[in-house]
């Protein structure tokens, strides 16, 4: 996982800013900014960001890099 533009399985685009550690669990989280609306900044566990999800065509990445 590296900084760049990623597309969510549902089509929205996000800019991954960095990885960080949760202060209590030390779990890696992805810090990312939505590239639409108010440009809000979000975090998601890295394991969830990179996992495969089931859609009509089978398993696909939840987020895929597009740049």
Q: Which fold has domain 4-65?
A: SH3 type barrels. (2.30.30)
Give the rounded distance of the alpha carbon of 38 from its chain centre: 17
What are the boundaries of each domain within the chain? 4-65
Supply φ then ψ for residue 48, to 5 degrees: -75, -40
Instruction: List pLDDT tens digits, range 17-58.
Output: 999 999 999 999 999 999 999 999 999 999 999 999 999 889
- Is the distance from CB of 60 to CB of 53 less than 8 angstroms? yes
CA 22 from centre of chain: 16
Scored b (16 or more CB within 10 A) or e, 27-46 reads eebbebeeeeeeeeeeeeeb
- In this prediction, residue 11 carries a pLDDT of 95
Cα separation of 22 and 27, whole Å? 5
Residue 67 has pLDDT above 90, yes or no: no
């Amino acid at each position: 996982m590296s900084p760049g533009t990623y597309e969510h399985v549902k089509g929205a685009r996000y800019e991954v800013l960095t990885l960080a550690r949760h202060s209590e669990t030390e779990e890696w989280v992805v810090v990312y900014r939505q590239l639409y609306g108010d440009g809000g900044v979000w975090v998601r566990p890295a394991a969830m960001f990179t996992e495969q999800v089931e859609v009509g065509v089978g398993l696909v990445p939840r987020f895929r890099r597009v740049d």
